[in-house]
Structure 1
Amino acid sequence: LPSFVYGLPEWNREALKSAKRIANPGCFATGLQLALLPLADLDLKHIAITGATGSSGSGMAVSETTHQPTRANDFRAYKILKHQHEAEALQLMRSVGIGGVLSFVPHSAPIVRGIFVTVQLLDVPNARACFEKTYAKAPFVRLVEDTPRLVAVNGSNFVDIGVVTQGRATVILVALDNLGKGMASQAVQNMNLATGLGETDGLWHAATHPA
């Protein structure tokens, strides 16, 4: 395991350029980390996170709770406070100094693809500036006004992030394609870096199946 480089290009770009083995991040782990890593220098106390994912996040195997026809008109929480990607995300976040109590509640949404993460924080000064600085040279991270939308990222390697502050409260909103930036296209991005290709090579064209 020590020989593997964690495949989050926005954080490990230089290490990935010489990587021989890459551990590609999970879909929710990608969203959680991109939402919080820009705030690594701040003293975060309590990090409340909710996330929603589509049926394709459960893979090809059919079950009562993951089969699209049975969840098409439903919305529910699952693996409350014990989703496997929480531990994955925490490993990197703790290593860069993000402390505090993290609670993550994932939800099964009546959609096929896409992940939407909402992070609620208190007393985070100049939050948007932290994101602008961190992702200034990240080709696939886009900062948006107000809320991102899944229709703008599905089928792509883009991650759209909104940062909204009012009074003491700050909300970070992240939208990404679980099959793209949350899986396959992020693997291509990592491969590009490791093999000396352009980081964005082959990643400008949308993959639209399943819809």
Structure 2
Amino acid sequence: MVKVGIVGGTGYTGVELMRLLARHDGVSLHAITSRKEAGMPVAEMYPSLRGHVDLAFSTPQDAQLQQCDVVFFATPNGIAMSEATALLDAGVRVIDLAADFRIRDVAEWEKWYGMSHASPALVAEAVYGLPEVNREAIRQARLIANPGCYPTAVQLGFLPLIEAGVVNAESLIADCKSGVSGAGRKAEVHALLCEAGDNFKAYGVAGHRHLPEIRQGLASAGGAPIGLTFVPHLTPMIRGIHATLYARLNRDVDVQALFEQRYAQERFVDVMPAGSLPETRSVRGGNTCRIAVHRPQGGDTVVVLSVIDNLVKGAAGQAIQNMNLMFGLPEGQGLDIVPLLP
């Protein structure tokens, strides 16, 4: 049994980790930390976990995380980079669901995240946890940078085109929509029901911190710099990301076959039949990315539709997928979940 600790168990990503790990028969939950809620039973805050998680929140100091085999950081940006070294030195593997280790250029990370990096030496060691690209490196890793939600949907949607070199990589467009849970479980005006409900708006148009992460991943796949316009939007729903992606073909190719071949062995990427229109509700609660690819009017513009649950394949589910790889468990263990509909 893999002994698991979770740092930061009170947010949406933390509770999603607990929901998924509670049904994973290859792990045992050792500790779930929260400085503010230490001593409170987890099931008191989240009654959905009654009968599944019997632990109480503990402070990081009392959690004895060094006794774990792996620790997930479901914390705000800037926490894991200050605490990972001590755990790694104790032989504990670390999976960071925030952005502390995602961007290899530390100066670039500091520019976008507005703080100094506390452990720049670890950035070079961290493995970017997109299994569909880095599976073998993940198996050997002791530190995983779990991808962001938008970057997961966008990269999986563009990867077959970039890897095959069949599109102009200098003029990609990612038009993305996310549910409000992507903003986290905190009191902010824009996430209030009266602000987000019955409303639709763009944000981060001048530049969003997920942009360099997406460009980095796609540039690595294609071996050349990426030109990307990325515009995220907030939608009045709780879960889900819908990424509508545009690229211009530089030669004629059967894009449907290209995607089907690229993801034929990927259990968590579903390439839908030609002409399909994937919906966010088709992945709600599941670890699947559903993709449909189109060529409107048979022209040279490719439109890729990519949907994920931002809390599962975009966060906690992908983190568990990475954990399974790191510990030699079946990759889909604990993640064989049928999405919830309606």
So what's the TM-score if we normalise by structure 1? 0.93
Distance 2:277 2:339 in 1: 23
Amino acid at match of 2:256: R
- Report which stretch shifted further, 19-28 or 68-77: 68-77
Q: CA deviation at 1:134?
A: 1.5
Do residues 4 (structure 1) and 132 (structure 2) align?
no
Match of 1:179 among 279, 303, 311: 311
Paired residues for 1:53-202 under 5 Å:
53-96=178-221, 97=223, 99-123=225-249, 125-145=253-273, 146-165=276-295, 166-202=298-334
Contact 1:81/1:103 (<8 A) preserved: no
**Greater percentage in strand:** 1
Decide whether the 8 Å contact of 2:293 with 2:305 is kept in 1: yes
SS for the counterpart of 2:314 is: coil
Q: Distance in 2 between matches of 1:81 and 1:35?
A: 22
Q: Deviations over 1:164-202 (max 9, x none)?
A: 113222100000000000000100000000000000000
State the AA in 2 paired with 1:136. Answer: A
User: 1:83 deviation in Å?
Assistant: 1.2
Equivalent residue of 2:174, what SS?
strand
1:48-79 C-alpha deviation (Å, 9 max, x unpaired): 11000001000011212122342110000000
Task: Please tell me the root mean square deviation across aligned C-alpha atoms, in Å.
Answer: 1.7
- Deviation string for 1:13-37 (max 9, x for gaps)? 1111111111100000111110111
State the one-letter code of the partner of 2:312. G
Shift in CA distance, 200/103, structure 1 to aligned 2, threshold 3 Å: same
AA in 1 matched with 2:126:
F
Alpha-carbon separation, structure 2, partners of 1:86 and 1:176: 18
Higher helix proportion, which one? 2
Structure 2, unaligned runs of 5 or more: 1-122
**Matches of 2:197 and 2:238 in 1, distance apart?**
9
The answer to whether the Cα contact below 8 Å between 2:255 and 2:293 also exists between their aligned partners in 1 is yes
CA distance in 1, matches of 2:200, 2:321: 32
Counterparts of 1:187 and 1:60 in 2: how far apart (Å)?
19
Tell me which residue corresponds to 2:141: 19
Kept in 2, the 8 Å contact 1:41–1:98? The answer is no
CA distance in 1, matches of 2:339, 2:263: 24
Identity of matched residues, %: 38
Which amino acid in 1 is paired with 2:146? N
Instruction: Count residues in correspondence.
Output: 209
Residue 337 of structure 2 is matched in structure 1 by 205
Answer yes or no: is the 8 Å Cα contact 1:144–1:162 preserved in 2.
Answer: yes
Distance 1:47 1:87, change over 3 A: same
Contact kept, 8 Å, 1:81 with 1:104, in 2: the verdict is no
Q: Do the aligned partners of 2:218 and 2:226 also contact (CA within 8 Å) in 1?
A: no
Max Rg structure: 2
- Structure 2 counterpart of 1:114, which letter? G
Check the 8 A contact 1:55/1:68 in 2, yes or no.
no
Deviations for 1:65-105, whole angstroms, at most 9, x for unmatched residues? 12234211000000014111111111121122254521011
Higher relative contact order (CA 8 A, sep 6+): 1
The structure-2 alpha-carbon separation of the partners of 1:81 and 1:132, relative to structure 1 and needing over 3 Å to count, comes to: farther
